[in-house]
Structure 1
Amino acid sequence: MKTKLIYLYAIIITTLTLPKLKQAQKLPNDNYEIKGQAIYKTPESISRRVIKKTGTAVTVHGLEKIPEGPVLFASNHQGLFDILLLLGYINRPIGFIAKKEIKKFPIIRSWMKELQCVFIDRSNRRAAIKVIEDGVNSLTLGQSMVIFPEGTRSKGGPIVPFKSGSLRLGTRAGVPIVPITINGTYLMLEANNGKMKAANVSLTVGEPLMPEDYRDLKSQKIADIVFERVESHLNR
């Protein structure tokens, strides 16, 4: 019953954002950093409210390490609530590389479009090139992006080695790559056979990999460095 009530709560408060969504859609994209700052407070608030409704306690470390300007966040991926955790607690506008299936949800899809999110069809390898191009464009516009280089949810298991291809968003755009370590979100849902429960969750920002640090490195070496920085904070 609790799980159904939380889903219903999320649907209701998301639907109530329609007036703000329409306002966001009218804002020009010519200076996206200004637009992003104007609109991200709504998704941030919704995400925090849903997480709070589950009874979960969130601890955040290292926000001061995030450089100014657009960055590529590279995070491990434990569960469904990772996206809400990042939206709610990174404290800046972010977009995601997201599965195309999310397009089935009209209001969420529209908010994600305004946040410069990029949708990927995992069954179409050729589409991956377009995804990288769109992600680089979002970063160039001034929007920070989030990727999950594992390519799948670990659901509390060992962190999966990072795929180097997804980090090209950062290297091609020439932006800092910021490691993010998420602990505990799988305990909110995946560990309970789909039933929502309260948990203690943490989000830790690691040392960023700056463009001058990775400029002469091969893609796999960059992926390995970011992986190590994410893993170093796991389950601490």
Structure 2
Amino acid sequence: MSRRDAGRAGAGRVMWRVYNTIQFAFTLAWTAGWITLALLLRPFSGPQARLPLRMAARCWAPGLLWGAGARLRVEGLERVDWSKPCLFVANHQSVIDICALFRAIPVPLRFLLKEEMKRVPFVGWYARATGMLFIVRDNARAGAMFRREAAALLARGHRLCLFPEGTRSRNGEVAPFKAGSLQAAIDAGVAVVPVALHGAGRVLPVDGFFRVRPGTIRVRFGTPLPVRDEGRPVARQALAERAQAQVVAMLRELQ
């Protein structure tokens, strides 16, 4: 590489750092502003917190996707009966996955979050105020409590989304789904809907500090999986394997 090319490459990296710093500042301000408004309106939105949840889908998430230069493509909406509660299970590539799912799913949605998120200003406050679920990872007792809470939430007619890999993928590969995370759907008798997320890891990679790059994020909904077969509950390990296999197959189609 010539000295001139090296200089251009260095200048390009500096420009990206400046651009990402501006994006990060926008993300913080946008999130704080919309969550503050959502919390102020929370007392007037009833026990289901429908208004704050829809604000996330129609205002907060689209703004952050726009700020990241991300274009969203949603496929397979017709496969899901949106009048019924269900458990969405998605692969996990990036923190921007939550924005994409909030925007893609046309009904109020709650997420399962790690316990540490409770202590994050604004985000933790919003999550608790809107009835999100939390879990202490790698804790058997906490897992059992989560399954009871999640089953009750689904039985009341709500929709819940979780990432059954347990963590974000660093290489794009989909790790095996943890079967215990799907037990709540079996207990509540609601379908499991596999969701494939493609491109989020390139828009906002796991490694590095807020290295955003414009790109397309595709969200594809799979065929809902019943949790009963001839009146008997489906084994949760088999259910997890079917959901994971469907997500992997959809990701291959999206590549």
Q: Look up the match of 1:165.
A: 180
Cα distance change, pair 106–137 in 1 and its aligned pair in 2 (3 A): farther
CA deviation after TM superposition for structure 1 residue 213, in Å: 4.3
SS at 2:140 equivalent: coil
Q: Look up the match of 1:181.
A: 196
Q: Distance in 2 between matches of 1:192 and 1:55?
A: 19
Q: Look up the match of 2:167.
A: 152
1:64 aligns with 2:82: no
User: Superposition pairs for residues 209-224 of structure 1, below 5 Å?
Assistant: 209-213=225-229, 215-224=232-241
Q: Distance in 2 between matches of 1:60 and 1:156?
A: 23
CA contact (8 A) 2:202 2:213 kept: yes
The range that moved more, 88-97 or 101-110, is 101-110
Q: Distance in 2 between matches of 1:46 and 1:157?
A: 26
Give the residue type in structure 2 aligned to 1:21. Answer: L
Cα distance change, pair 197–176 in 1 and its aligned pair in 2 (3 A): same
Q: State the TM-score, normalizing by the size of structure 2.
A: 0.84
Q: Distance in 1 between matches of 2:172 and 2:69?
A: 23
Cα distance change, pair 192–118 in 1 and its aligned pair in 2 (3 A): closer
User: Superposition pairs for residues 27-38 of structure 1, below 5 Å?
Assistant: 27-29=45-47, 32=48, 35-36=49-50, 38=51
Q: Distance in 2 between matches of 1:131 and 1:65?
A: 28
User: Superposition pairs for residues 196-235 of structure 1, below 5 Å?
Assistant: 196-213=212-229, 215-235=232-252
* Structure 1 vs Structure 2 CA RMSD: 1.9
CA deviation after TM superposition for structure 1 residue 188, in Å: 1.4
SS at 1:193 equivalent: coil
Identity of aligned residues (%): 26
Q: Look up the match of 1:83.
A: 98
Q: Distance in 1 between matches of 2:38 and 2:225?
A: 35
Cα distance change, pair 212–121 in 1 and its aligned pair in 2 (3 A): closer
CA deviation after TM superposition for structure 1 residue 61, in Å: 0.1
Cα deviation, 1:109-146, whole Å, max 9, x if unaligned, reads 22222332111111533111111111122212322001
Give the residue type in structure 2 aligned to 1:82. Answer: D
CA contact (8 A) 1:178 1:208 kept: yes
Q: State the TM-score, normalizing by the size of structure 1.
A: 0.90
Mind listing any 5+ residue stretches in structure 2 that lack a counterpart? 1-17
Give the residue type in structure 2 aligned to 1:75. Answer: A
Q: Pick one of 121, 126, 129 that aligns with 1:114.
A: 129
CA deviation after TM superposition for structure 1 residue 11, in Å: 1.8
SS at 1:119 equivalent: strand
Q: Distance in 2 between matches of 1:24 and 1:187?
A: 34
Q: Look up the match of 1:139.
A: 154
Q: Distance in 2 between matches of 1:5 and 1:142?
A: 40
Q: Distance in 2 between matches of 1:137 and 1:6?
A: 38
Cα deviation, 1:143-173, whole Å, max 9, x if unaligned, reads 2001111111113431111111000111111
Q: Distance in 2 between matches of 1:204 and 1:10?
A: 25
Cα deviation, 1:38-83, whole Å, max 9, x if unaligned, reads 3322111211111111111111101121222211001111111111
SS at 2:122 equivalent: helix
Q: Pick one of 67, 74, 94 that aligns with 2:109.
A: 94
Q: Distance in 1 between matches of 2:166 and 2:108?
A: 22
Q: Distance in 2 between matches of 1:151 and 1:225?
A: 17
CA contact (8 A) 1:78 1:186 kept: yes
SS at 1:168 equivalent: helix
1:46 aligns with 2:60: yes
SS at 1:86 equivalent: helix
Q: In terms of Rg, which structure is larger?
A: 2
CA contact (8 A) 2:27 2:67 kept: no
CA contact (8 A) 1:54 1:196 kept: yes
CA deviation after TM superposition for structure 1 residue 19, in Å: 3.1
